[in-house]
């Protein structure tokens, strides 16, 4: 036990050092300026909800412009002093700055909930882009140092809140009261996963936990030999999750490790699983393709693609694989063998997951776009065509 505790402390210390180097390299202070974003499509893909640093904005997928605010009759609202059109942005005036980089949570047709880094929940009038509770609702925690660095999982009646210094807390949606709290030895840096009443939680303490979602009781836990900072992916009765111990694990829903695969370096992001294949990047810029049909995992190919870490979950098309890296590049690869088809340059490092927006009757774009967020304000969000990688627009935050 003592040796495992020492290993855990070393692993978390290494993680802290890694993150410190990451943030220092992007010229931002700790800890309120984490510089990775959340990109969410809302209204059937008509608008992009973009949470980055101290602002949340609605972006038009057609050209990357801010969505204009309109009145009940559909007319554009204008600023009474400047006469300029008002656009959809939310910012909470506070010192230090209130930081948002989590997915919004819909409350009703015109209200959303924005979780903040500082554990406060802000209710927003969507039509007016106005914060209804400027002080926010502070959720309970044992210390004032706990923060939210991953998405909150929302169900019809419960918010499952991961806390960066440890624990996951279940909050009642109607009054924000605590339903239950489950203690972890170290922080929870990934969104919990809910499957048929079981809540799966990963932690920097090396454990994957399975909890009863109703009461927080521990069903089982399994030690994966390294800090875990990514959400598990569930497919066909198995959980797939990587660790900072350089391994990817296939875990049965009873907690049994069915198979494991050793990568070149730490695995921070979640894998992409499609058609019996799994794709994952690691912190040395390698991409791994595994056949996961049956109870095991078999490497199909592994290739160093990028010069620096790949955190974002890969995107899959029919015949291509897209990955983005801290080396300021996005890569289009062949799914067959991982060979590079082409690459695209970006101003900043990429940590956030990518999103695809599809053309439709209400989204007037000629073809599907892939949205890539960087850690730079200059190119906070960039749209490329999914198939050919043509740059369509860049949004400056």
Tell me if 208 is assigned to some domain: no
Q: Containing domain of residue 318, as a range? A: 235-345
Tell me if 302 is assigned to some domain: yes
Tell me if 139 is assigned to some domain: no
Q: CA angle 345-277-330, nearest 5°?
A: 5
Q: Structural domain tally of the chain?
A: 1
- pLDDT tens for the chain, 397 residues long, are 333 333 443 444 444 444 544 433 333 333 334 468 999 999 888 999 999 988 999 999 999 999 999 888 788 888 778 878 999 999 998 877 788 878 899 998 899 999 999 899 999 999 999 999 999 998 875 555 688 999 999 999 999 999 998 899 999 999 999 999 999 999 999 999 999 999 999 999 999 999 999 999 999 999 999 999 999 999 999 999 999 999 999 999 999 999 999 999 999 999 999 999 999 999 999 999 999 998 899 999 999 999 999 999 999 999 999 999 999 999 999 999 999 999 999 999 999 999 999 999 999 999 999 999 999 999 999 999 999 999 999 999 8
CA distance 59 to 56: 10
Q: Give pLDDT, residue 386.
A: 97
- Positive or negative, the CA dihedral 218, 222, 227, 232 is negative
CA distance 277 to 86: 46
The answer to whether 66 and 91 are in contact (CB under 8 A) is no
Residue 277 sits in a domain whose CATH number is 2.40.128.630
Q: Give pLDDT, residue 227.
A: 96
Tell me if 221 is assigned to some domain: no
Tell me if 396 is assigned to some domain: no
What lies within 8 Å, CB to CB, of 385 at 6+ separation is: 367, 368, 369, 370, 392
- Which residue matches tokens 């994957």? 208
Q: Give pLDDT, residue 1.
A: 39
CA distance 168 to 201: 8
- What b/e sequence results for 298-317 when a residue is b if at least 16 CB atoms lie within 10 Å of its CB, and e otherwise? eeeebeebbebbbbbbbbbe
Q: Give pLDDT, residue 245.
A: 96
Tell me if 278 is assigned to some domain: yes
- Single out the residue of 314, 324, 319 nearest to residue 337, CA to CA: 319
Structure tokens of 103? Answer: 């997915």
Q: Give pLDDT, residue 2.
A: 35
Parallel, antiparallel or unpaired: strands 277-281 and 272-274: antiparallel
- Single out the residue of 109, 111, 91 nearest to residue 99, CA to CA: 91
Q: Give pLDDT, residue 240.
A: 98
Max CA distance (Å), the chain = 67
Cα distances (Å, whole numbers) of residue 325 to 28, 155, 222, 374: 19, 32, 30, 9
Q: CA angle 329-267-319, nearest 5°?
A: 55
Tell me if 227 is assigned to some domain: no
Tell me if 48 is assigned to some domain: no
CA distance 282 to 236: 24
Cα distances (Å, whole numbers) of residue 194 to 102, 129, 187, 237: 18, 30, 19, 13
CA distance 158 to 393: 38
- Number of C-beta neighbours around residue 65 at 10 A: 12
């Amino acid at each position: 036990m003592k040796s495992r505790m020492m290993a855990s402390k070393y692993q978390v210390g290494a993680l802290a050092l890694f993150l410190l180097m990451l943030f220092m390299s992007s010229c931002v202070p700790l800890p309120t300026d984490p510089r990775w974003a959340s990109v969410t499509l809302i209204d059937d893909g008509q608008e992009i909800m973009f949470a980055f640093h101290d602002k949340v904005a609605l972006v038009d997928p057609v050209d990357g412009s801010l969505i204009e605010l309109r009145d009940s009759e559909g007319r554009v609202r204008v600023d009474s002093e400047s006469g300029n059109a008002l656009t959809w942005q939310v910012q909470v005036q506070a010192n230090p700055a209130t930081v948002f980089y989590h997915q919004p949570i819909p409350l009703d047709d015109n209200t959303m909930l924005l979780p903040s880094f500082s554990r406060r929940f802000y209710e927003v009038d969507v039509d007016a882009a106005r914060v209804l509770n400027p002080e926010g609702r502070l959720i309970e925690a044992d210390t004032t140092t706990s923060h939210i660095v991953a998405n909150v999982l929302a169900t019809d009646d419960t918010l499952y809140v991961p806390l960066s210094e440890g624990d996951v807390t279940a909050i009642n949606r109607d009054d924000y009261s605590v339903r239950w709290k489950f203690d972890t030895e170290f922080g929870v840096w990934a969104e919990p996963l809910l499957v048929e009443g079981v809540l799966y939680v990963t932690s920097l303490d090396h454990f994957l936990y399975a909890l009863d979602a109703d009461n927080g009781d521990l069903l089982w836990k399994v030690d994966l030999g390294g800090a875990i900072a990514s959400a598990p992916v569930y497919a066909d009765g198995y959980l797939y999750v990587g660790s900072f111990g350089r391994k990817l694990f296939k875990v049965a829903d009873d907690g049994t490790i069915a198979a494991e695969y050793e990568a070149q370096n730490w695995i921070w992001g979640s894998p992409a699983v499609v058609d019996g294949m799994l794709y994952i990047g690691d912190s040395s810029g390698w991409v791994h393709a595994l056949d996961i049909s049956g109870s095991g995992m078999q490497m199909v190919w592994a290739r160093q693609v990028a010069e620096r870490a790949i955190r974002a979950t890969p995107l899959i098309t029919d015949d291509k694989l897209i990955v983005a890296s801290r080396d300021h590049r996005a890569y289009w690869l062949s799914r067959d063998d991982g060979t590079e088809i082409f690459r695209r340059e970006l101003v900043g490092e990429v940590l956030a997951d990518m999103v695809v927006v599809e053309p439709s009757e209400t989204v007037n774009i000629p073809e599907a776009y892939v949205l890539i967020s960087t850690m730079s304000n200059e190119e906070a969000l960039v749209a490329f065509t999914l198939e050919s990688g043509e740059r369509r627009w860049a949004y400056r935050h």
